[in-house]
Structure 1
Amino acid sequence: MMAENAYLDEWKTAIGKDTGALYLAIVEAVARSIRKGALQEGEKLPPQRIIAARLGTNLSTVTRAMAEAQKRGLLDATIGRGTFVRINAGDGSWRQTEASVIDLTMNSPPLPREPSLQTMIQGEIAAIFRHQDAQSLMSYRVTGGTQQDRQLGAQWLAPMLGRRRASDVLIVPGAQVALSAIMSSLLRPGEAVITDRLTYPGMRSLAAQFGYVLLGVEQDSEGMIPEALDALCARHRPRVLYCTPTLQNPTTATWSLARREAVLAIARRHQVQIVEDDPYSLLLKAPPPALAMLDPARVIYVATLSKVLSPGLRTAYIVLPGADVTRRIMSGVRAICQAKAGILDALVSRWIETGLAQQCLRSIRDELVQRHNILRQIMGERLPESGPSPHVWLSLPEWWSSADFVAFARRQGLALVPSSVFTVSGDPPAGVRLALGSAPDLEQLRDSLVNLRSVLEYRPAAGFSDIV
């Protein structure tokens, strides 16, 4: 084995001398072995765990290196067969003409390290089918969830809402379904919704689809400015206010208790219904009280598992202020999606009941704290203070516009979200949103942020534009 895979010793020597990213050093070592003929076309590489052991590195680094080598045309990999040197890999055609893209756009939580999400799903699905009837799990479900599922949902949301009745809670397949059902039940096309000047892109999409008019309120470091909100309400007499008071997307602004009470007072004075979108509060160990806890009669509350556990669970909760509104929103949910998948309902409820959901949440929270620590080490004081959110807002130097910065970063292999995606009114500010949860591991996040810092510090020539 040692003689056959002698090139691995050369790889170890080469990567020990390389001062750049370790996974890229492995890719270059693969390329050199192919050019020298130490690796032949069609030759099978050892398993990645063996490569990692021989190189003295971790498996995730080798996995990333092999994936990058495939992108460059050096290797082919097939599940069940292994990894092979690609035919014609040695003729020079493997050389990239563009940098591979590191995606910092997808705003989702990182996978928990312990417990393993895959292990959790496999074990719990088997347990569910052992204890529940398959026909019931795979048939049409009651809209809004069963009484037991709704009770467990109320239990899950208690840190933000306090005690709520199960009858106040509806369970739907995702926050976008929840918002669509709510808005279509409250508004007619052409009517106005007040929101932050920089707001969740899903709300912009929803408004475009249903024909609502979005009115953006100016923001400060804490979020929506009460005086600006009061003036906008007096001028336009809107029926609905949409907001994210905790770790707002994209800015991560979090309202103080005084700010929450001020906004609620304005909403009461102008008879405005509040729709509170709260995807992130459970990422905080001590989340602030939701608006729906401070004024249950005024606020329709939406929370999702997509940002605190996994988007794949397709579970969101709507908490409603009364029976009449509940009936209207229930009709909206039924018209849009009928009901959630029974197997996902059963999985989520079992996780909450057994404590696995809380365990998974703690793991994700700890992982995000580590990611924010890396962010601080690399980006320094460029970023405002925020809790362990899966996203952060990066204000740009005066020489960059958001559009130009995103275009230039793309050329360097970084995918970012420009401010125009979030802007409701006025010119898009010079800033971008970074998604910290999309990197598979801490090492890849660190590499991404080091690259980002170099792009941020670069001063383009006068007149730079990506438009031709």
Structure 2
Amino acid sequence: LKLSVQTVSRAYEELIRRGLISGEVGRGSFVQTQRREPEPPYIPERLGEVIDLSILKPVCEPMHLEKLKQALGWLSENLPASSALSFRPNMVFPRHRAVAVEWLKLCGLDASPQNISLTNGATAGMTVALMSVAPPGSTVATEAIGHHTLIPLARYLGFNLEGLPIDGNGLIPEALDEACRLSDIRAVFVQPSVINPTATLMDAARREQIAAVARKHDIAIIENDVLGPLVEGRPPAVAAFAPERTLYVTSFTKIVVPGLRIGYLAVPDRYVAAVANRHLVSNWMATPMVAEIATRWVNDGTALELVNWQRGALRRRQEIAAEVLTGVDYRCHRDGLHLWLELPGDRAEESFVAQARLRGVAIAPGTSFRIADTSWHPAIRISLGSTTEGELRAGLSVVAKLLLGDPEHLLLAI
């Protein structure tokens, strides 16, 4: 066929990504009879001596565990009966919602208690929001490179996902406008504040334009803003420009401590009943005892203290990355949890990820975040908070050596 090994490798990678074939070391490649379940971009569990830069998590120190232990000790002495002996959500959460109002003000939202649902983290909030605005068979627009969970969610919930063009400022408003004219778009899902894979911070003008397009076509906006107060000096939330149609999702998991798996979903009046019903059937309610800790930490300042600490820790790690990856072109934000690195043109993504893994470093393949079936540039996502500073430096050094060395194709992928 007069094709290079690199071209054939990429063809196999694309077939695997689409779930059309599977490859097994030592056995070969097999045509799939049905689509495989999508694989997460991170390794399911940390194995042996692997430096795990694949999973997106905040920096954690012994201090975080100690604060959680103290909170659990306080909870053991002050646990309300309603949080332990009841499972009627409308009896448990009114005071939690009142505190949520104050936290959402830090996120730039002016929300009413009755418009807030407490969720078991951002993923639960996303799921409920999508169930509320995107019935089976409808279409949701989002960034071409977006949230990896959206892909399986679209399949499980039965809606279509349309990935739209992006630039260095995020989702392009004109692309959304055209998609709304040509397709029956019911909602747009955006991640405007650094949490998106490309580490983009959408400016205020672009946020206002996205809101204007959504209003023009009367579609809902789902805003995933899980970094919330962590991103210093960020523009107003998209919800601030279109409060009447934005379902706003945030949580504590990525900015305070992973074990505090609780989040807030703030919605306009028109979606309150739909969100309450879908939250009831999918989660029933957020875990009350975790909600108690989050409420206490917001009240006594612990949550904001840990956010401020996290910001400083991430900035130090961004400095480490800049030092180790000198001469390497990548995207980042000083308050972000990760880097987005497009591979040189001669590098196959699956091969690069596999070569890093063979050297003891796990990184996330960019195809896990690929939503649009358009031309694709191989890329990787590198988490900065998932390990110690020493291991981060060592892992980044492995990536740098792979980038600067001669490309080595992983023949086992064929």
How far does the alpha carbon of each residue in 1:179-225 deviate from its partner, in whole angstroms, 9 at most, with x for none?
A: 21121222222211100001111111211211211101111111111
Specify the code of the residue in structure 2 equivalent to 1:453: A
Larger Rg: 1
Total equivalences in the alignment: 367
| 8 Å CA contact 2:168, 2:200 repeated in 1 | yes
Specify which of 318, 335, 347 is matched with residue 265 of structure 2: 318
Counterpart residue number, 1:433? 381
Specify the code of the residue in structure 1 equivalent to 2:86: S
Residue 287 of structure 2 corresponds to residue 341 of structure 1: yes
Specify which of 369, 378, 390 is matched with residue 315 of structure 2: 369
Counterpart residue number, 2:244? 297
Check 1:136–1:438 CA distance in 2 against 1; reply closer, same or farther (3 A cut): closer
Distance in 1 separating the partners of 2:91 and 2:263: 10
Counterpart residue number, 2:206? 259
Counterpart residue number, 1:332? 278
SS in 2 for 1:434: strand
Counterpart residue number, 1:87? none
SS in 2 for 1:123: helix
| 8 Å CA contact 2:84, 2:288 repeated in 1 | yes
Q: Which has the higher contact order (CA 8 A, sep 6+)?
A: 2
Structure 2 matches for 1:103-252, cutoff 5 A? Answer: 103-112=52-61, 116-133=63-80, 136-142=83-89, 146-252=93-199
| 8 Å CA contact 2:143, 2:190 repeated in 1 | yes
Check 1:432–1:373 CA distance in 2 against 1; reply closer, same or farther (3 A cut): same
Q: Mind listing any 5+ residue stretches in structure 1 that lack a counterpart?
A: 1-67, 72-99
Which range is displaced more, 269-278 or 399-408? 399-408
| 8 Å CA contact 2:332, 2:340 repeated in 1 | no
Check 1:135–1:267 CA distance in 2 against 1; reply closer, same or farther (3 A cut): closer
Check 1:298–1:135 CA distance in 2 against 1; reply closer, same or farther (3 A cut): closer
| 8 Å CA contact 1:104, 1:414 repeated in 2 | yes
Specify the code of the residue in structure 2 equivalent to 1:110: V
Structure 2 matches for 1:55-70, cutoff 5 A? Answer: none
Offset of residue 159 of structure 1 = 2.3
Check 1:458–1:434 CA distance in 2 against 1; reply closer, same or farther (3 A cut): same
Specify which of 386, 394, 407 is matched with residue 341 of structure 2: 394
Distance in 2 separating the partners of 1:397 and 1:110: 29
Counterpart residue number, 2:11? none
| 8 Å CA contact 2:226, 2:252 repeated in 1 | yes
Counterpart residue number, 2:233? 286
How far does the alpha carbon of each residue in 1:19-56 deviate from its partner, in whole angstroms, 9 at most, with x for none?
A: xxxxxxxxxxxxxxxxxxxxxxxxxxxxxxxxxxxxxx
Q: Mind listing any 5+ residue stretches in structure 2 that lack a counterpart?
A: 1-45
| 8 Å CA contact 1:276, 1:299 repeated in 2 | yes
Distance in 2 separating the partners of 1:235 and 1:144: 45
Distance in 2 separating the partners of 1:112 and 1:184: 36
Structure 2 matches for 1:6-155, cutoff 5 A? Answer: 100-112=49-61, 116-133=63-80, 136-142=83-89, 146-155=93-102
Distance in 2 separating the partners of 1:295 and 1:210: 26
SS in 1 for 2:55: coil
Offset of residue 427 of structure 1 = 4.0
Offset of residue 420 of structure 1 = 1.2
| 8 Å CA contact 1:193, 1:242 repeated in 2 | yes
Percent identity of equivalent pairs = 26
Check 1:219–1:145 CA distance in 2 against 1; reply closer, same or farther (3 A cut): farther
How far does the alpha carbon of each residue in 1:416-460 deviate from its partner, in whole angstroms, 9 at most, with x for none?
A: 111111111124421111111111x21111111111111111222
Q: What TM-score comes out, normalization by structure 2 length? A: 0.84
Counterpart residue number, 2:24? none
Distance in 2 separating the partners of 1:305 and 1:451: 31
Offset of residue 405 of structure 1 = 1.2
Check 1:282–1:438 CA distance in 2 against 1; reply closer, same or farther (3 A cut): same
How far does the alpha carbon of each residue in 1:378-437 deviate from its partner, in whole angstroms, 9 at most, with x for none?
A: 112522352311111011111112222112212221111111111111244211111111
| 8 Å CA contact 1:112, 1:364 repeated in 2 | no
Counterpart residue number, 2:363? 416
SS in 2 for 1:193: strand
Q: CA RMSD in A?
A: 2.0
Offset of residue 128 of structure 1 = 2.4
